[in-house]
Amino acid sequence: MSVIPPRGFRLAGVHCGIKRNPAKEDLTLIVADAPAVAAGVYTQNLVFAAPVALDRQRTPSDSIRAILANSGNANACTGQRGLDDARRMTELAAQACDIKPEQVLVLSTGIIGEFLPLAKIEAGANSAAQRLDTDEAAFVAAARGITTTDKSHKMAARVIELSSGLVRISGMAKGAGMIGPRMATMLGILLTDAALAPDDAQQALSWAVDDSFNCISVEGHMSTNDTVLLLASGAASRSALQGADLAAFRQALLEVCTDLARAIPDDGEGASHLITIEVRGCATRADAHRIAKTIAESALVKTAIAGGDPNWGRIVSAAGYAGPQFDPAKVSLAINGHQLYRAGAPVPFDARTVSESIKSARETHVVLELAEGDAGIRFWTSDLTAEYLRINTEYHT
């Protein structure tokens, strides 16, 4: 499936000089031909960046015309000047596209605590506005413009048939660690030509993010800039989706978000494994989430998988300090389909076989079963390798 812009959007990605390498795009401009419905989900970090503060005030909305996003500088921890700079970015995008500043959303990702190079962004916005296009190359350039330490840009799409006709959802994301050498954050942008009421757009996005972007972790360090935006042009139909059409749209949106979310720990800094952690049999989904996240963020679990070691003790003990109450005597665990622990006691297994199943595949699948209820979750994380340490140690402010 090709990832092309849904109808009603034009995109560009350019190099404006924030990144040193001139071959790397660092500024992305996305323009809606007409006012679009917009929804946003943002970091819960108390220390949030200026663009988060600005976008949060402007979503949900029915009149957004553009997103201007830069990589290489997070505009975070920059005080009042940072807020002024984020507002200035909306003015630069508005001038370049002949729209109003209040119709613009902004995204920034990169180093914390430095001020934005506004002259570069102004020139870049004007250049990007000249290159806006509706083809796949434009979408790719835009996806590249938001990357930082990512090994590659991340895209996903679905086309679904609704009663009103075909609807396209195309998304891009970035992220490989909270902070790479001079970089930060997870960002996601979803574009659709579906027509959506602003509240429906916001609800669909919040719901989809909860089971996708909120179920991933590289090292558990929540960024100051995390943002996922959904823009709906409405070009695919005259009236807002309802009923079964809206439900189908939400499901497809979740699929696109899940594809993008999984791609982030899969590209986690230094990662050699994508680890899927399924936690089942919990009293509540929140319990399952907390247990899965605690397992996913244990350096001991992550190093065990990196080493190809089916160390179930590290996983079970991480569940035990996650917080939710459960009966340890009813816990079972499987890795890659091999049962290692059942009803609170070890099961004899061939360590070499299980180790080989970890080493020979990019993905490792952990299933932890409790006996407290019917709630469960899937969570994705990366393993922890010497390369992660190299990336995050060998940097100097």
Residues of this chain that bind a copy of itself (CB under 8 A): 44-48, 76-79, 111-114, 177-179, 184, 219-224, 298-300, 303-304, 306-314, 316-321, 325-326, 328-329, 331, 341, 344-346, 351, 355, 384-386, 388-390, 392-397
User: In angstroms, rounded to a whole number, what is the distance separating the alpha carbons of residues 305 and 348?
Assistant: 19
Cβ–Cβ under 8 Å, residues 121 and 16: yes
Query: What is the closest distance, in whole angstroms, from the C-beta atom of residue 320 to a copy of itself in the complex?
Result: 3
Cβ of residue 386: shortest distance to a copy of itself, in angstroms?
A: 5
User: Smallest distance from the beta carbon of 376 to a copy of itself, in angstroms?
Assistant: 18
CB closer to a copy of itself, 213 vs 388: 388
Residues taking part in catalysis: 185
Which DSSP string corresponds to 270-307? T-S-EEEEEEEEESSHHHHHHHHHHHHT-HHHHHHHHT
Cα distance between the two ends of the chain = 41
Quick one: 67 or 184, whose CB is closer to a copy of itself?
184
Pairwise CA distance, residues 383 & 360, whole Å: 14
The residue (of 179 and 260) whose beta carbon lies closer to a copy of itself is 179
Radius of gyration for the chain, computed over Cα atoms and rounded to the nearest angstrom: 22
CA distances from 234 to 30, 35, 249, 288, 365 (A): 15, 9, 13, 37, 39
Nearest CB to a copy of itself, comparing residues 99 and 367: 367
The residues, any chain, with a CB within 8 Å of residue 149's CB and separated by 6 or more, are 176, 177, 180, 181, 183, 269, 391
CA distance 231 to 10: 12
* Smallest distance, a copy of itself to C-beta of residue 55, A: 17
How far apart are CB 77 and a copy of itself at their closest, in Å? 6
Beta bridge partners of 237: none
CB neighbour list of residue 58: distance below 8 Å, 6 or more residues apart: 38, 40, 64, 102, 105
Measured CA to CA in angstroms, residue 352 lies from 33, 252, 311, 358, 381 at distances of 58, 40, 12, 10, 24
To the nearest whole angstrom, how small is the minimum distance from the Cβ of residue 267 to a copy of itself?
A: 17
Q: How far is the CB of 337 from a copy of itself (least distance, A)?
A: 17
- Cα 147 from chain centre: 12
Q: State both tokens at 327.
A: 């009966």
- Closest to a copy of itself by CB, 91 or 372: 372
Pairing of strands 363-369, 274-282: parallel
Which of residues 170 and 392 has its CB atom nearest to a copy of itself in the complex? 392
- Of the pair 194, 319, the CB lying nearest a copy of itself is at 319
Residue 160's alpha-carbon distances to 236, 245, 337, 352, in angstroms, are 11, 10, 33, 45
Question: For residue 13, how far is the Cα from the chain centroid?
Answer: 19
